[in-house]
Chains A and B, each alone.
Chain A
Amino acid sequence: MAVELVKIVSKNFDIPDSHKLEVALKHGRYDSIDKAFSMKPEDITEEVCKSGLRGKGGGGAACGSKWQLMPPVDERPRYLIVNGDESEPGTFKDRQIFQYDPHLLIEGIIVSCWALQANEAFIYIRGEYKWFIDRLNEAIEEAYKAGIIGPKVMNKYDFSVDITVHRGGGAYICGEKSALIESIEGKRGHPRLKPHGKECEWFYDMPATVNNVETISSVPNIVLNGYESYTKYGTQKAPGTMLFAMSGPVKNPGVYELQYGEKMIDVINEIGGGMKDGLKLKAVIPGGASCPILTAQEVEKAHLDYESMWEIGSTLGTGGMMIIPEGTSMVAVAKNLIEFYHHESCGQCTPCREGTGWIDKIIKKILEGEGSQNDIQTILDVCETMNGKTICVFAPAVKDIIKSIVQKYRHEFEAHFNN
């Protein structure tokens, strides 16, 4: 069956000047607000729970359940923090929302703030996205001037919403939600130790929820049209859609909204236009650089939803597919990625700080023709030493990608031994 694009979050992306308030209002932006304010906050959370909306930032946790972790309302301020750090290599979807439909994000924030009973939202955006930050700030300014946000939402509801964009400083780890909060609080982006039981996040010791930009942008449609409008797409366990990104030598790289469950190879060939310049597909890193690599044979079997990807030994992550063509050295790919991880480790946990550097050195040695079977074993051993022994999932992610490359393309590492 042919792969079809679905237009929920991306509905207005192709409309000229869709980022401007005047155009946005003509095309349905802020239509969900009246409906949302006719509902009790807990009913909105319930609707989001029923929709099965899952976090689009890589983890895929249920959004509604996360909202339910907020404690009952008390005298403390409560916060919504929107994660637009988007630093995972291969991922470039949230910037489409900033560029083409920033009012959708603002609308999603208003509805989510009402559901969470939070009056303030911070949007944390990676520092490199200066242009996109400016675009979003212009939209926020328009929304303030029109009275859409500010002391009275839509100039009529007795509920205030304030939105502030916080520009990051160039640190991949700040996409990790607790590191992100540390970063806003004026500290190095060091992930926090996680509590034993599930609880909300804490921003200056006050209750907070952290959600991805695309997740929050998915909320208005669910509230306006009901959860069934969302669950008719996707799979039973992964309802709805996601903005899938595709990069590398395909004819049409870009960002496409698809329902979950599509066949990866069909998406690459039909939506991505297939490989360009007569190249052959060698491998795909399916959802950002931290997801275990898939060989061309595995790509044929892969479906784009969380459970299917787990079944074939990878993860869906952020949905950012990185296409690798035949002729690319997988040792060079591993070297490129470990350099990234070595550079971006926050340095807080020894296994991660030292492990990434150690693997980087070994792969360099192999590329220089000085490697041996012992070195391959050392890489795998270091991966295991890093896995599960650190505060955040950065180190397990390194283990996932590096181990999968070494195991699936071991012969390419060995080929360097004889040079």
Chain B
Amino acid sequence: MGKFKYTDENEQEFQRVAKKYPKIDAMMLPALWLVQEQEGWVSPDAMIYVADRLGKTPIEVYEFATFYTMFNLKPIGTYHIELCKTLSCMIMGAPELKKFIKDTLGIEPGQTTADGKFTLSEVECQGACGGAPMIALNNQYHENLTVDKLKSIIEECK
């Protein structure tokens, strides 16, 4: 066994949720979400742990985790900026937001700032088209953004 283990609280949550499903297989998504909430990312070590808990092989967990884009397969910064790039956001100004992030934080999509604070991901539609352009910052939506608004959001994180 590797080093990863659920915290006591997450272990309880795992047990609670597992009872809701007819088969343990259905715990694949909930189990990985618990890992990511605990660690910020899903490490190979954690995948082996989840495989063991669910009676799967590690490759099955790896195949699953790589299919779903929201699982971070490498460590990310304290603040994860997910910038929507799909059509309504593109039309309403997402490219300007991307440029602003590059100019101020010096990162492109997929990169993390040297101090480990910010990671930028460019993502497809997040279902916030009426509030375009938008970002999700650590899962929290910020809609109807302008460069100025984004600037203050980033400043608050610094």
Contact = CB atoms under 8 A, between A and B. Distances in A.
A95 B91 contact: no
A87 B70 CA distance: 13
A169 B129 contact: no
B147 interface: no
Nearest to A166: B29
A69 to B, nearest CB: 20
Given A131-B141, A248-B91, A171 B69 contact: yes
Interface in B76-110: 82, 85-88, 90-92
A88 B25 CA distance: 27
A151 interface: no
A167 interface: yes
Contact of A128 (B56, B63, B126, B132): B126
Given A91-B129, A248-B88, A169 B30 contact: no
A95 B127 CA distance: 8
Nearest to B63: A188
Nearest to A84: B127
A55 interface: no
Contacts of B63: 188
B124 A169 contact: no
Given A95-B127, A126-B127, A167-B33, A89 B23 contact: no
B30 A166 contact: yes
Contact of A162 (B20, B29, B92, B141): B20
Interface in B17-39: 17, 20-23, 25-30, 32-33
B22 A245 contact: no
Contacts of A189: 67-68
Interface string B117-154: 00000011111111110001001110000000000000
Given A167-B33, A248-B91, A186 B26 contact: yes
Interface residues on A, range: 35 or more
A343 B130 CA distance: 22
A169 B87 contact: no
A209 to B, nearest CB: 16
B147 to A, nearest CB: 17
Nearest to A245: B130
Interface in A295-335: 320, 322, 324-325, 328, 332-333
Contacts of A203: 22
Given A171-B68, A203-B22, A247-B132, 12 more contacts: A86-B127, A87-B127, A128-B139, A164-B17, A169-B68, A169-B70, A169-B71, A186-B56, A186-B64, A187-B64, A204-B22, A332-B90
17 contacts: A89-B86, A90-B125, A91-B127, A91-B129, A128-B70, A169-B68, A169-B70, A171-B67, A185-B23, A245-B130, A248-B88, A249-B91, A253-B129, A289-B87, A322-B129, A333-B87, A344-B124
Interface of A: 77, 86-92, 95, 126-131, 162, 164, 166-172, 183-189, 203-204, 206, 245-249, 253-255, 285, 289, 320, 322, 324-325, 328, 332-333, 336-337, 339-340, 343-344, 346
